[in-house]
A and B are shown apart, each in its own frame.
Chain A
Amino acid sequence: MTIVTGKAEARRRLQSGRSGVLWKMWEHRADYAYVLPAIAVMLIVIAYPIYYTIELSFFKTPPGLQLRDKIYVGFDNYTNILTSPVFWKVTWNTMIWTLASTFISFVLGFGSALALHRDFIGRGVLRAILIIPWVISAVAASYIWKWIYHSDFGVIGAVLVGLGLADRPPNFIDNVSTVLPSLIVVNIWREFPFAMIMMMAGLQTVPEQLLSAAKVDGASAWQRFWHVTFPHLSSVSTVTILLLAVANFNSFIIPWIMTGGGPSNASHIWITHIYELAFGRQLWGVASAYSVLLFLILMTLGYFYVRALSGNERKEGSA
């Protein structure tokens, strides 16, 4: 007969697969209790809406009908979206909007960070001024720019006419071909300070001795940038670009307030389009299907973001 003591039993259970996991969880029961309230809130405000959005995306919700009388249509919403020309127009707009805003904001922000990294008189003031676009409310900024672009009373138009560069004020946002670039300019103006701040923080971590070493080794200012500063900033650059890309993909305020997506969908991007479908035209099912597609795309971006972050940790961990 074997006598099994309590301790030995516990050890045995620890070593054997599933019951071992349960045992470990039981040992950490207090930790689970601490995060329980947060998990409960998350379930209510995030998990349930996600589930409900997915459910709605399989239903038709005619504007006159109450939501509980929705009609099941299977994948119809998805097929309708993917075959409609508006979808492709909006997707194309979103791509241009996201890529152009992200890339130009990053380049401008990096440039300003480099300029502000050197010591010169008035640096503090200039830095404060450059951060302003990022701190003021996006709604206020949108209205200001709407007036700046205004075809009758806008500053830009007046200056162009005053200088004799144009016969009459150009029409920036009521024109199908100029509206998207005009909005992108506003977006870049608003978010390049974010890239600037990120890159300024990154620049401060470039080791001084490494730059000195490069100087002694005979590297010019440009070579020092290319061989020391830029590689050192690769991880902060990746994170900045990804964060900008996600923020731009999710943009809403600037296009919605300045144009509402018009004229004729020329400045509609995904979020504004979804908002209009849902809250403008009460097409909850279609809007939900759109949202699910957007969710999938953003999750993919998020995956790369996390991978970039943990990749850096791995690199530093092995150092």
Chain B
Amino acid sequence: MAHVVLKDLVKTYGGFKAVNDVSLTVNDGEFVALVGPSGCGKTTTLNLVAGLIPITSGDIVIGDRVVNDLDPKDRDIAMVFQNYALYPQKSVYKNLAFPLQMRKLPRDEIDKKVKEAARVLDMTHLLERKPRELSGGQQQRVALGRALVRDPAVFLMDEPLSNLDAKLRVQMRSEIKRFHQDLKATIVYVTHDQLEAVTMADKMAVMNGGLLQQYDSPAQVFAHPVNMFVASFIGSPAMSLIPLEASTANGNTVLTGAEGWSLELSPRNAQKVAGATTRKVVLGARHSTIKLHKSAVAGSVPARAYTVEPTGDVTFVQALLSGAIVNVSVPPNIAIAPDEQIWLEFDQERMHLFDGETEMAFQAN
């Protein structure tokens, strides 16, 4: 196993920067998820690491070697693809043996390694089958096996669960996590599903528009998103972002909504906003940090229920507030009707405040 370092990595297509100055370090044995919406550059970044496309500038280090100009086969990596990319004409055994044959290993050693990989992934009984005779989950396991037999320094995985149905995806998610724990493997994992990233990865790199937005542990990214994009992308349902106006009156900092109500900030939050160059402040709050009241209480603001979605465990209420939709979760026994007048109380300790111009989070000094 080995660590991976990306240094000022750039990939341009014509004038378009698909990957824009990405730098990050994946430590030995770490599971890192590259996550972001379609077209954010995550798969391009992975392909750059794999060597399937040439880099425009920057450096890629795997282990202690700069691999910028090496062929994929010389980078000591293995890759798992979204559609598994199994050789359809070859049996499972031959699929697993292929990377070893290409490395000209002796036949008995290949046999040993293939059987070992099949045993680890519990597919010894499938060795003689053709890929088309396997289920999606089994095919994905063969693809993992083909990566495993090589004993590579780094595993690269490109949305390996996207083609599976929802139930199987949850199951394979824990299998891959287990795979990582057992092997202490260094894994770079691309996904557009923030839930996969949050549940599996040691660290997640959130990308958007070719830029690395935030690189930290899932807990940190969840609790302290650096900007509005990360805040809205991580977490389900998404964090509500409410555009407000900041002003100071009698030494207190107050946020005013479009409807005219105002909310006084706690001293700690007021201090964050104090240094702002703009009066536009965006309040971010996750559904679980907002309290819903049926009548006005101190510190609450008036809103209107828009839609109500019972899910069994909790009921999600979407409310209209200052021109934004706010997600609130309430216990299922509280009945709310659409268009009902409600009051929302934000938890000052767990709310997020963003600069309305730069979209960056205000930091406590």
Tell whether, in the assembled complex, residue A217 and residue B146 are in contact, meaning their CB atoms are under 8 Å apart: yes
Q: How far is the CA of A209 from the CA of B102 in the complex (A)?
A: 18
Q: Is A297 located at the chain interface by the 8 A CB criterion?
A: no
Q: Is A21 located at the chain interface by the 8 A CB criterion?
A: no
Q: Is B103 located at the chain interface by the 8 A CB criterion?
A: yes
Known contacts A209-B82, A215-B72, A216-B73: A231-B89 contact under CB 8 Å: yes
Smallest CB gap from B94: residue in A: A227
Q: Which of B128-151 contact A (CB under 8 A)?
A: 132-133, 146, 150
- Of all A-B residue pairs in the complex, the 10 with the closest CB atoms, nearest first, are A218-B73, A218-B102, A213-B85, A217-B99, A319-B132, A231-B89, A209-B85, A209-B81, A216-B79, A216-B72
Residue numbers of B with Cβ under 8 A of A are: 47, 50, 52, 71-73, 77-79, 81-83, 85, 87-90, 98-99, 102-103, 132-133, 146, 150
Q: Mark A198-213, 1 if CB is under 8 A from B, else 0.
A: 0000000001011011
Residue numbers of A with Cβ under 8 A of B are: 207, 209-210, 212-219, 223, 227-228, 231-232, 315, 318-319
Q: In whole Å, how far is A210's beta carbon from the nearest beta carbon of chain B?
A: 5
Tell whether, in the assembled complex, residue A218 and residue B103 are in contact, meaning their CB atoms are under 8 Å apart: yes
Tell whether, in the assembled complex, residue A213 and residue B102 are in contact, meaning their CB atoms are under 8 Å apart: no
Q: How far is the CA of A227 from the CA of B95 in the complex (A)?
A: 11
Q: How far is the CA of A216 from the CA of B150 in the complex (A)?
A: 11
The 30 listed contacts between A and B (C-beta, < 8 Å) are A207-B83, A207-B85, A209-B83, A209-B85, A212-B52, A212-B79, A212-B81, A212-B85, A213-B79, A213-B85, A214-B98, A215-B71, A215-B72, A215-B73, A216-B50, A216-B79, A217-B73, A217-B99, A218-B73, A218-B102, A218-B103, A219-B102, A223-B102, A227-B87, A227-B90, A228-B87, A231-B89, A232-B88, A315-B132, A319-B132
Residues in A with CB closer than 8 Å to B52 are: 212, 215-216
Residues in B with CB closer than 8 Å to A209 are: 81-83, 85
Q: How far is the CA of A275 from the CA of B77 in the complex (A)?
A: 65
Q: In whole Å, how far is B48's beta carbon from the nearest beta carbon of chain A?
A: 13
Given contacts A210-B85, A212-B72, A216-B73, 16 further A-B contacts (CB under 8 A): A207-B83, A212-B50, A212-B79, A213-B79, A215-B52, A215-B73, A216-B50, A216-B72, A217-B102, A218-B99, A219-B98, A227-B98, A228-B87, A231-B89, A318-B132, A319-B132
Residues in B with CB closer than 8 Å to A214 are: 87, 98
Q: How far is the CA of A215 from the CA of B71 in the complex (A)?
A: 8
Q: In whole Å, how far is A221's beta carbon from the nearest beta carbon of chain B?
A: 11
